[in-house]
Structure 1
Amino acid sequence: MTNLYRAGDLRTPDALAKVTPEQAGWTYSGMEVFDLAAAESVTRVLDGIEGVLVPLSATDVTVTVDGDRHRLRGRVGVFDAVSDWIYLPLGSTVEISGASGEVALCSSRAEVRHEVAVVAAEDVPVEVRGSGRATRQVTNIATPSSFEGADKINVCEVITPGGNVSSWPPHRHDGIGDCEPVNEEIYYFRMGQDDSSHGHPNGLGMFRVYTVDGSSDETCPIFDGDVYLIPEGYHGPSIALPEYPMYFLNVLAGPLPERTMAFCDDPAHHRIREEWTDEDQDPRLPMTSAESRVS
């Protein structure tokens, strides 16, 4: 059974895409993507969940949390700049408004309440990871190393230039066998074309997911706006075809007492990490910064 959802499959009356733990068949991770042009505002009560709101292609976003207003500068697209973002506490009432554009409300079941926090784009760590054709950009939004003020949720973005791969070597964090890390993971893809600022209808990539026992092995084309849910198994590579850069937003959460982004490589491919020391990183990366696309 595939866990791939094409753009539009998860649409609701007020969201471009919505993933709940119940729908996914797991316990923690969730996500909603809103187009602010479609409604004057969106209101959510975070009952039993915490959230991270990330502008994707929206600027001048107003987020009201329990009556207090916060403004996010946002960005015109995921391939244009790194965005500021806001952490939303467990149990809070949130209203999101803006003139137009796309925002993602990443969420997780939570037990401990943390305070609201607005993080400026300039303070979001950008990492260039890998080497050669496996070079990619990882923007660490709310990860254990970049943001401590959360209970369960982890959020990051990955940009892969056209012709490169990411999610490589294949890895997992499903708690099966000797792999101790446990995280349920959502991939939300936006596929660009050449120098597009955001997703493009012609965008095309590839993605592989396979289980430890070999009972499932899927390699599928990825189009702009697709969502893939990963409850278990190895995932990777994510392949950006030439001229079509790939972006994905990752939402991860799990039952362990401490938040973690740890993973277990497929042992058949783990050696690749050692080979990176002999290759140069792709000079096209990082692709974005807090200001704009890096030239």
Structure 2
Amino acid sequence: MAPASSTPTDQLHLPAGSTAQGSYETAIDPGRRDGWEHTGLRVLALDAGGTETFTADGVELMVVPLSGGCEVSVDGARHTLRGRQDVFASATDVLYAPVGSELTLTSAGGGRFALAAAVATAVHPVALLRAEDVPVEIRGGGAMSRLVRNFGTVGAFDDCDSLIACEVITPGGNWSSYPAHKHDETTATESELEEIYYYEIQAAPGGSPGFGFHQTTASGPDKPIDVLTEVRSGDTVLVPHGWHGPCAAAPGHDMYYLNVMAGPAADRAWNITDHPDQTWVRGTWEAAGIDPRLEGEMR
């Protein structure tokens, strides 16, 4: 992997629309930018009755409806993803498609659909994970409470090559990806993984846009990085290395992010190291209790 210094900071926060290609509001592909080799994300917007064909050339992927539902044909077999109103409403059906697949997405009512991708070589079977079967957990406590939908994490879905993916809901005013942590080297306790954060932020009751903040900092002198940026709906932040977090949701604006991870190791694993100055907060979570705003989706 290219050293982090080859990726300027202004190329790590990608505002909404800045990578758009045709029907794709976001188009980030592995190997298409300096120092970015293992992960990709496309966000497809379809009008009612719209259709799009995509070939998973060199990547495996998961189709994650952000709003609306769709039919996905994978190499001739059709699968129905029931979707959802928006990312804050609930978990969603998710479809895994292996490397080399040809996918055709069709949406009768229109919608937006994330294609979370990772470089892969081994072929695994197509898999449909229903929303009601997505493992959901609450991490943290108090103002650090957040809800994680583990549809594509290690241990939740493992019949794939390298892709790791999940989505996180952080209520307005709360902090997540906290303590800050890293996974940028291969050790007995850590995995080397690139990570994509794709954000959506809930608007105010009157419709004005919401916002939050994302931070990534250097984990060593050979890994220079310094990102502290305001994020809005449709923004993407790339994390090639370094301590990432906290992510803060502005009060009144719930925050969603889709995480996509993969790395160079043959073994698919998600092992992290907490920032030594922040790991102590884990000891406060039990006494702080769970933010009651998150309890409705637990089952």
- Give 5+ residue unaligned stretches, structure 2: 1-7
Q: CA deviation at 1:267?
A: 0.7
Q: Distance in 2 between matches of 1:160 and 1:216?
A: 25
Q: Contact between 2:63 and 2:96, CA under 8 Å: does it hold in 1? A: yes
Query: 3-state DSSP class of the match of 1:272?
Result: helix
Q: Distance in 1 between matches of 2:280 and 2:29?
A: 36
Q: How many residues align?
A: 286
Map of 2:143 onto structure 1: 133
Q: Distance in 1 between matches of 2:50 and 2:174?
A: 39
Q: Distance in 1 between matches of 2:142 and 2:191?
A: 28
Query: 3-state DSSP class of the match of 2:67?
Result: coil
Q: Distance in 1 between matches of 2:211 and 2:116?
A: 24
Q: CA deviation at 1:72?
A: 0.7
Q: Distance in 2 between matches of 1:139 and 1:262?
A: 18
Q: Which of 171, 186, 193 is matched with 2:181 structurally?
A: 171
Q: Distance in 2 between matches of 1:17 and 1:189?
A: 11
Query: 3-state DSSP class of the match of 2:292?
Result: coil
Q: CA deviation at 1:261?
A: 2.1
Percent of paired sites with the same residue: 38
Answering whether residue 219 of structure 2 is matched by residue 212 of structure 1, we say yes
Q: CA deviation at 1:213?
A: 2.8
Q: Distance in 2 between matches of 1:145 and 1:46?
A: 24
Q: Distance in 2 between matches of 1:190 and 1:201?
A: 14
RMSD of equivalent CA atoms:
1.9
Q: Distance in 2 between matches of 1:56 and 1:201?
A: 20
Map of 2:190 onto structure 1: 180
Q: Contact between 2:137 and 2:298, CA under 8 Å: does it hold in 1? A: no
Q: Contact between 1:139 and 1:158, CA under 8 Å: does it hold in 2? A: yes
What TM-score, normalized by structure 2, do the two folds share? Answer: 0.91
> More displaced, 161-170 or 91-100?
91-100
Q: Distance in 2 between matches of 1:266 and 1:247?
A: 23
Q: What does 1:120-269 align with in structure 2 at a 5 Å threshold?
A: 120-175=130-185, 180-193=190-203, 202-213=209-220, 215-269=224-278
Map of 1:85 onto structure 2: 94
> More displaced, 63-72 or 35-44?
35-44
> More displaced, 278-287 or 238-247?
278-287
What TM-score, normalized by structure 1, do the two folds share? Answer: 0.92
Q: Which of 29, 44, 59 is matched with 1:49 structurally?
A: 59
CA deviation string 1:64-115 (max 9, x = no partner): 0001111110001001111011000111111011031100011111011100
Q: Contact between 2:52 and 2:105, CA under 8 Å: does it hold in 1? A: yes
Answering whether residue 104 of structure 2 is matched by residue 95 of structure 1, we say yes
Q: Distance in 2 between matches of 1:180 and 1:205?
A: 28
Map of 2:5 onto structure 1: none
Q: Contact between 1:194 and 1:245, CA under 8 Å: does it hold in 2? A: no
Q: CA deviation at 1:26?
A: 2.1
